[in-house]
Chains A and B, each alone.
Chain A
């Protein structure tokens, strides 16, 4: 596997999706970086965990974490950064293979691919949710600390 090439291609792909979704121009670079992060985590996960579902979960988690941090930095909504990064993780080829097998009347094989595609999309969703919950807890803790510092107490 050619790491620099894949990094470059995933960066380019995510930035292109940024153009299609019309993200603000000064965030295009960050969108590409988020996409690259997600894809590289996914590829590493496939090599070390040997399971596309877990690897996709890790990739989506990484994308959502990066998107949350960038959203704080740019003071912009989080979806601007996460949308383009999620696209490379969508199980397009599994869904395609499932359909191709249905068309060719190989229903048993189609079920294998379809359930894999379903599991992977579930992993994308779970990755997004876990990162969101984690960031909420972290941000709440940070806000509490700031409040204590300036002498405000909650309620």
Chain B
């Protein structure tokens, strides 16, 4: 009897930690990760559990007698589809629609499956967004093809370098630098009209929007460690982009 209880509790712990890890890796706010894990724990009759979540690792202490578990988070990216899926699994578990083992299986499936859009579709989206921002920020219609192409190119460069090196700030720096150089060439060759709006439109897909939003929400929810570190990441990203453009403009 105790043996069954023990394995069930181990399974429950694995399940909570996988859910928390998936949420944190794919861009959920810290307070949502903690909230989800605690709610799942309460639904499994672990009422006095505690968890502490930072962007680089999460700790979960189920109760006084059970050991605390720790999970390291190595890479973070933005995949909101996974966040939504894990959220719906945890909702179902809390509502009693899913048993613990089923929920764990579903989380493992979510972990294995690749939900990202096709990379070419993403590049097309980045290019479209750049073109839209060029017009929204008051650029010339004749500059539209430049912003469209450079925005897509910058996105390709950042994604490629991210895949190769995993150094995020370097990737963003090089992406912004390339956008700046291309925009400068387009304007000097006489085809582009306004350097400023071309550059601003093209770097828009690199702006750390999710980080800014999450940093603010985390700080307001009282998660100062995560809020500050996410804010620092957002600031560094903005700085990398700025430095890349500044390097081009200084010539």
Q: How far is the CA of A93 from the CA of B201 in the complex (A)?
A: 9
Q: Is B54 an interface residue (CB 8 A)?
A: no
Chain A, 1-38, CB within 8 A of any chain B CB = 5-6, 9-10, 12-13, 16-17, 19-25, 27
Residue of A nearest to B138 (CB): A93
Residue of A nearest to B215 (CB): A125
Neighbour of A83 across the interface among B84, B122, B209, B242, CB < 8 A: B209
Q: Is B250 an interface residue (CB 8 A)?
A: yes
Residue of A nearest to B211 (CB): A83
Q: How far is the CA of A100 from the CA of B250 in the complex (A)?
A: 8
Total residues of chain A contacting the partner, CB 8 A: 45
Contact B115 A22 (CB under 8 A): yes
Q: How far is the CA of A82 from the CA of B209 in the complex (A)?
A: 10
Q: Is B212 an interface residue (CB 8 A)?
A: yes
Chain B, 176-219, CB within 8 A of any chain A CB = 196-197, 199-200, 203-205, 207, 209-210, 212-214, 216-217
Task: Mark interface residues in B209-233 (1 if CB within 8 Å of A CB, else 0).
Answer: 1101110110010000000000000
Contact B129 A129 (CB under 8 A): no
Identify the stretch in B75-83, B97-105, B160-168 within 8 Å (CB) of chain A at 4 or more residues: B75-83
Tell me whether chain B's interface is mostly helix, strand or loop, or mixed: helix
Chain A, 66-123, CB within 8 A of any chain B CB = 75-77, 79-80, 82-84, 86-88, 90, 92-93, 95-97, 99-100, 102-104, 121
Contacts A88-B136, A99-B245; A17 near B216 (Cβ below 8 A): no
Neighbour of A79 across the interface among B117, B133, B217, B238, CB < 8 A: B217
Tell me whether chain A's interface is mostly helix, strand or loop, or mixed: helix
Contact B84 A24 (CB under 8 A): yes
**What is the distance, in angstroms, from A7's C-beta to the closest C-beta of chain B?**
10
Q: Is A124 an interface residue (CB 8 A)?
A: yes
**What is the distance, in angstroms, from A65's C-beta to the closest C-beta of chain B?**
14
Residue of A nearest to B36 (CB): A77
Which residues of chain B have C-beta atoms less than 8 A from A104's C-beta?
A: 249
Chain B interface extent, by class? 35 or more
Contact B246 A21 (CB under 8 A): no
Q: How far is the CA of A152 from the CA of B78 in the complex (A)?
A: 41
Contacts A12-B132, A16-B126, A77-B87; A22 near B217 (Cβ below 8 A): no
Q: Is B4 an interface residue (CB 8 A)?
A: no
Which residues of chain B have C-beta atoms less than 8 A from A12's C-beta?
A: 128-129, 132
Contact A23 B87 (CB under 8 A): no
Which residues of chain A have C-beta atoms less than 8 A from B87's C-beta?
A: 76-77
Q: Is A53 an interface residue (CB 8 A)?
A: no
Contact A86 B209 (CB under 8 A): yes
Contacts A20-B129, A129-B216; A79 near B204 (Cβ below 8 A): no
Contacts A22-B117, A75-B88, A96-B200; A17 near B136 (Cβ below 8 A): no
Which residues of chain A have C-beta atoms less than 8 A from B212's C-beta?
A: 86, 90, 121, 124-125
Contact B196 A79 (CB under 8 A): no
Q: How far is the CA of A12 from the CA of B82 in the complex (A)?
A: 23
Task: Mark interface residues in B113-140 (1 if CB within 8 Å of A CB, else 0).
Answer: 0011100011001101100110111000
Contact A9 B125 (CB under 8 A): no
Most buried by A among B80, B205, B245, B249: B80
Q: Is B91 an interface residue (CB 8 A)?
A: yes
Which residues of chain A have C-beta atoms less than 8 A from B238's C-beta?
A: 95
Which residues of chain B have C-beta atoms less than 8 A from A87's C-beta?
A: 204, 207, 209
Q: How far is the CA of A17 from the CA of B210 in the complex (A)?
A: 10
Q: Is B9 an interface residue (CB 8 A)?
A: no
Which residues of chain B have C-beta atoms less than 8 A from A132's C-beta?
A: 217, 220
